[in-house]
A = this chain, B = another copy of it.
């Protein structure tokens, strides 16, 4: 991997300071927006060409929405500001003292470029993590990208199809058993969505299997679901899932996963579809910088979101670790949005020679998770809500947070259609066959 000697992206530009933002998620986009009135040039680097609305990824995996409806081309989002450049590429290293990054920009030739910066914001997010069991990755796909989602969608739909043709009852049972590992919001939402598909969308479409007999297990090592919520809501979510036919297994760690099942505690569950919603770890930005990280690999930042030792490098969103009031900030969209906004302002003050901002303050607006079609849990401070009303609030808020009007209209239409017909119109198996 040779460094490209022409540092092309820094040439031919103004004498304004250059801010490089790595990652076009919630945090990165907010930083770019926040810099619109600051005299800097901005380069936004992402390994995808789209901003992804991760909270609805599980709806792509369960065939309600299509990939394009929860994604927006990054270039389009920032095209109005001529000082903003976008680069599709994967960052593989940072020289923090020399203020350069290494980026792979041509996937065919694997050509790399060295990119110079005056200020750097790392907002590169998380990736799936299997707690040292790298061999589980192939058996239990996770859900972090659109490719993950369409892969899972194909795997889930194919299990029903194969079961319909299968004559061996044991194999058929294995195909009609789904295990979701991880009882956080994504795990609860996936388990609920699979249950709903099996019980409302599919029954009339198969002749030999009864999709209502599908078994869905939700496995969580902690003693309750949705640890970020109060115990009361967590219990209500569990009851809602159980009413939908999901078996909830708590307090038991996963021991083993292979292509025909999973061992939880001492019990083996034969299943051809195990879904991983349990562990994530940070993209290794800490290694790039050579700075301390927490157990999940997140960069520990100062209260002003700067990386210790570097006044010109920030980390934001899921990839950073910051404790406020003795608790680390959670890896949720709200933290990323607020931090992105803060860093935009902090950078503006720094560039324009104004006094530094007070430390980052997080305003927790609350949590929500949707389980099936008419049930959600939400809480905000002392306020708690669960059930149908919470579901409608969840739906409205999620449509509001989609980044463009076009997708808001399409998601609204798809949801309305799905709600009244029980149909899931995005039921496509387009993945390459798995073996």
Contacts and interface: CB of A to CB of B under 8 A. Distances in A.
| Main SS at interface, chain A | mixed
B162 A106 contact: yes
Given A87-B164, A161-B49, A167-B6, A207 B107 contact: no
B89 A4 contact: no
A4 B4 CA distance: 58
Interface band, chain A:
35 or more
Interface string A309-338: 000000000000000000000000000000
Interface in A55-112: 66-69, 71-73, 75-76, 79, 82, 85-89, 103, 105-111
Contact of A427 (B49, B105, B161, B430): B49
Interface string A145-186: 111001000000110011011110001000000000000000
Interface stretch (A241-249, A278-286, A403-411): A403-411
A205 interface: yes
Given A68-B425, A88-B161, 12 more contacts: A49-B161, A66-B66, A66-B67, A67-B428, A73-B428, A76-B423, A86-B164, A105-B166, A107-B433, A113-B167, A147-B432, A406-B417
B427 A73 contact: yes
Copies in the complex: 2
A161 B71 CA distance: 17
A413 B73 CA distance: 18
Contacts of A206: 75
A427 B50 contact: yes
Contacts of A165: 8-9, 87-89, 103, 105-106, 113
A98 to B, nearest CB: 20
29 contacts: A6-B167, A8-B165, A8-B167, A9-B165, A49-B157, A66-B66, A66-B67, A66-B69, A67-B430, A68-B425, A79-B204, A86-B164, A86-B207, A87-B165, A88-B161, A88-B162, A105-B165, A106-B162, A106-B165, A107-B158, A107-B434, A108-B162, A108-B435, A113-B167, A146-B428, A150-B430, A406-B417, A406-B423, A410-B410
Nearest to A6: B167
Given A113-B165, A413-B413, A158 B88 contact: yes
A271 interface: no
Interface of A: 4, 6, 8-9, 48-50, 66-69, 71-73, 75-76, 79, 82, 85-89, 103, 105-111, 113, 145-147, 150, 157-158, 161-162, 164-167, 171, 204-208, 259, 272, 404, 406-407, 409-410, 413-414, 417, 423, 425-430, 432-435
Contacts of A410: 410, 413-414
Nearest to A60: B68
Contacts of A145: 430
Contacts of A433: 107
A413 B413 CA distance: 10
